[in-house]
Amino acid sequence: MSTTRVTAVRVERRRDGAFAETPTPRLSWTVASDGPGWRQSAAEVRLDGTEVARLDTAESVFVDWPYPPLVPHARHTLEVRVTGDDGGTSPWSEPVTLRSVFLADGEWQAAFVALAQPEGEACPGLVRTEIDVDKEVASATLYASAQGVYQVAINGRDVDDAVLKPGWTSYQYRIEHEATDVTGLLTTGRNAVGIRFAGGWFTEEYGFHGSARRVYGDQPAVAAQLHIAYTDGTSDVVVTGSHWRGAAAGPVVSSGIYAGERIDARRAVSGWSAPGFDDSAWPAVAVRDADVVPEPATAEPVRRTEELVVQEVITTPSGKTVLDFGQNLVGWLRVRVAGPEGQVITVRHAEVLEHGELGVRPLRHARATDELVLSGGEDVFEPEFTFHGFRYAELEGWPGEFDSELDAASVTAVVVGSDMRRSGWFESSEPLLNRLHENVVWGMRGNFLSIPTDCPQRDERLGWTGDIQVFSPTASTLFDSDAFLSAWLKDVAAEQAASDGVCGFVVPQVLPDGDRAAAAWGDAATVVPTVLFERFGDRRALAEQYPSMRAWVDKVVELAGEGLLWQGMFQFGDWLDPDSPPDNPGQAKVDKEIVATAHLVRSARLVARAARELGHAEDASRYADIAERTRQAWLHEYVTPAGMIVSDAQTAYAMAIAYELVDADARTVMGERLAELVRRADFHIGTGFVGTPIIADALTTTGHADVAGRLLLQTEVPSWLYAVTMGATTVWERWDSMLPDGSINPGQMTSFNHYAFGAVTDWMYRRLAGLAPDAAGYRRLRIAPVPIAGLDRAWARHETPYGMAESGWTATDGEIRVRAVVPANTTATVELPGAEPVEVGSGAHEWTIADPRPAEEHTLARV
């Protein structure tokens, strides 16, 4: 009999707690078993230690709620145990505490309140009230939100460790609230509730080339309601309203996402969020009308996730003091310092140095500067309502000469981002490839901050749909991003509903012309929900987004007209082709209209596939027909009888192969042509946003893994590893964001933290290391490693929804040893070179095969 135990119980999508966002949350659990091939035959769920529901199911991911619907403010304990096919039953899991975080219809009562006397636009401030608690408290939950960003303190203590709450949503359609357990913060007698806040994304000005404007509002506002349940069965609700008082007070003088913060330690207000503070000089707040009722937050919040120390203190050629943290990151500095009252320390942030000085040109109109005004005593400064993308920080105004040891120890870089759980790890025998992988991880950490942004440093930081469309498979491997992306997709659907089905350039949509349709960008509406189903088994995400998926394809079909060729309109195309000039990033080797219609085929197929999965048979037939007719139109318009594409470029053939636009014979011909184009380019990458995620797959699928390998290991510009050789610690926006001479690309659009080109990481897991999903949510795995020349080893580990999986290979003496770990309650199809596919169950497995690579390629040096 095997030893089996339930190692984790989850509620819905979040990994940072058991939160019921709906009355009927789904449950998931993972199982560890030393029994080979262990499969679940049944499960039991125990509620509050007594009520047991038996589930005759083999499923352990997103299992339907087996009890009557939950009610608001509920708290329960959950335990799970499982029975395997071997007849053995596990012990009960450790109990998890489940909390309802939703409110009943009409239960939200809090008004949004703002400063009655703001000092300028986007004015930060403080609001407060006091309450009496005269009975024993059983539980207390704070529901709070903001048009802006905020933090709540009760009796002088912050309610949690989240920052930049409630994050950025399409405020005019949807806003989120937290639901924080604050039972331990209340005391019998007098209590105080205080909220500090700033404008954040709500008051930010969006736009380019000096034409930025506010989209949502000029002043921030906050709303909160505190539900207190007493042991005698009674309850109270405390809400924001006109009886609260507020002032433009506190140390934060000004704050902006792009500008940075000015913090004046002389303005600190002692005790303002504690009972007994005299707020008689603060006017009553202004109550603001709000059309949108806050809904529960469904993704992990933004938090401080790591701290980095100074690696080097640099004196620049001009005499400036610059701190190097050794890693391009997103967050801010925490500074401990003592100096004369009123002295100002100015902190400027940048990702790179250029000719030894801070490289700020890529920031464009983003000031990215914090100003710290000293109180005269010892101060600790830490911005709260802004963030920066930087590796280097320049300090000006430091009291006295900056000591490279003593003072450097007083400055810490605080890393900030949405607090998703890491789920993917990769290692190979090539250090540069390993560093590339970590660069992709850091790029995702910095750009998954409330929404999936393009970059974290300049006057942009927007939810560009094209970037996440190409990166979502990699994102779903590196981190458990299901909750994060599902939340963002709600805004995609809301923006589409307001734009006649168009999924625009950015979500939330804040650009003057951002609500237009563009291929590969708007296709995020179909691709991202598909990825969440494939990688997490999240069928609900597919169902929730299905109207959005269908609306996008319907809109593009309308734009394409009867001929189903999407032509004559604006397109980004294969954005940032390495041959595009610095001032024209959309100029690519592949025609934009070839890209556009190819994506219509792809998205129509994805909708057809979703329709089949969801049981919409008529839709499945309709969209499959649209896909096939569009494919035929694409072939007729853009492919010659000899199998050449009229844009004879890497991306064109990669699309034809990866999107299955051609039959098997043509795919072979196009694979040969694609490989030849890569060889002619001396194994340099020739693709932009569209082609880069798929070129290695296209080469591998058509039997040219050797070419894909040489492309991957290329170190000259343009290539994935070029940036690594230049010292990059994140992925760059352009293949040559920094030129070989150390100067920044002359284009006005250059970022050193863009994850899009890091999308090759998904291929590194699935094909190179051989760890891929073969059924939704990794219910079945595909173990099929593809050894390439130049590597002796490649290994991947991924925490799937069912548990930890591994696959990798090591080459020695003409043999390849393959090792795989298959999680309990799953199976794997194993496809090894020269061997017939086999099916295996859970557990650790090893195989040894002859090295399939030609002998001369076993140790072929990278290009």
**Residue 740: which residues within 8 A CB-CB, separation 6 or more?**
717, 726
Closest CA to 293 of 480, 109, 486, 65: 109
Specify the 3-state DSSP secondary structure of 724. Answer: helix
* Stated pTM of the model: 0.97
* pLDDT tens-place string over residues 76-119: 999 999 999 999 999 999 999 999 999 999 999 999 999 999 99
Give residue-wise pLDDT tens across range 457-486: 999 999 999 999 999 999 999 999 999 999
Q: Pairing between strand 252-256 and 260-264?
A: antiparallel
Question: What pLDDT sits at residue 210?
Answer: 82
Give yes or no for a contact between 180 and 224, defined as CB atoms under 8 angstroms apart: no
Residue 311: the pLDDT is 98
Q: What is the pLDDT of residues 11-23, one digit of tens each?
A: 999 999 999 999 9
524, 525, 530, 531: CA torsion to nearest 10: 30
Please tell me the predicted confidence (pLDDT) of residue 290: 87
Q: Is the pLDDT of residue 856 over 80?
A: no
Q: Give residue-wise pLDDT tens across range 733-792.
A: 999 999 999 999 999 999 999 999 999 999 999 999 999 999 999 999 999 999 999 999
Over residues 392-421, the mean pLDDT reads 96
Strands (E), 93-167: 96-100, 112-114, 125-133, 137-147, 149-154, 157-158, 162-163
pLDDT, residue 862, reads 53
Of the chain, the percentage scoring pLDDT greater than 90 comes to 97
Per-residue model confidence (pLDDT) at position 834? 87
| Spatial CA neighbour of 260 closest among 137, 151, 125, 371 | 371
Closest CA to 788 of 846, 860, 722: 860
Model pLDDT, residue 512: 93
Q: Please give the domain boundaries of the chain with CATH numbers for all domains.
A: 4-100 (2.60.40.10), 112-296 (2.60.120.260), 304-418 (2.60.120.260), 424-768 (1.50.10.10), 780-857 (2.60.420.10)
Q: SS3 of 576, please?
A: coil
Active site residues: 460, 733
Tell me how far CA of residue 705 lies from CA of 49, 615, 625, 696, in angstroms.
54, 38, 33, 8
Predicted pLDDT at 48: 97
> Using 50, 70 and 90 to split pLDDT, how confident is the model at 209?
confident
Average pLDDT over residues 218-230: 98
Looking at residue 859, what is its pLDDT?
A: 58
Structure-token pair, residue 172? 């005019």
223, 110 in Cβ contact below 8 A?
A: yes
Is a pLDDT exceeding 60 seen at residue 236? yes
What pLDDT is attached to residue 573?
A: 98
pLDDT grade, residue 858 (50/70/90)? Answer: low
| Residue 482 three-state SS | helix
- pLDDT over 90 at 855, yes or no: no
**pLDDT tens, 340-354?**
999 999 999 999 999
- Mean pLDDT to the nearest integer, 713-730: 98
Q: What is the pLDDT of residue 486?
A: 98
Residues whose CB is less than 8 angstroms from the CB of residue 151 and which lie 6 or more positions away in sequence, other chains included? 158, 159, 162, 163, 165, 195, 196, 197, 384
| Mean pLDDT (the chain, rounded) | 97
- The pLDDT score that the predictor gives to residue 599 is 98
Cα end-to-end distance, the chain, whole Å = 53
| pLDDT (mean) for 239-245 | 98
Per-residue pLDDT, 211: 87
Predicted confidence (pLDDT) per residue in 559-614, tens digit: 999 999 999 999 999 999 999 999 999 999 999 999 999 999 999 999 999 999 99
Show the CA angle centred on residue 779, arms to residues 776 and 784, nearest 5°.
90
